[in-house]
Amino acid sequence: MKPITKNLIQTIGNNAVREAQKKSLENGVPNVYSKNGVLYFQLPNGDITMQNPFTNVDIKLDEKVSKELGSLE
């Protein structure tokens, strides 16, 4: 068994992030990145843009989450 090192943990984390990014694009959800305080959006078609694709998106919450948010008002 390999010893747990900083590099091993970073490799595992990097692989997990790449897999999550891949899955989000496959599901039609843009990836968001920040560089020097500027947001960049990677769209599912591969394009990179600075235009926020989330500005006119209706978000559907499941019933449980809706109730929890309603109780915060």
User: pLDDT tens digit string along 34-46?
Assistant: 999 999 999 999 9
What share of residues in the chain are helix, strand, coil (percent, to 5)?
A: 40, 15, 45
Kindly state whether residue 36 falls inside one of the protein's structural domains: yes
46/24 Cα distance (integer angstroms): 12
Question: Residue 42 pairs with which residues in a beta bridge?
Answer: 31, 48
Range of the domain at 26: 6-70
Q: DSSP code of 72?
A: T
- pLDDT, one tens digit per residue, over 1-52 is 778 999 999 999 999 999 999 999 999 999 999 999 999 999 999 999 999 9
- Based on the structure, what is the number of domains in the chain? 1
Kindly state whether residue 1 falls inside one of the protein's structural domains: no
Provide the whole-model pTM. 0.66
Kindly state whether residue 63 falls inside one of the protein's structural domains: yes
Kindly state whether residue 39 falls inside one of the protein's structural domains: yes
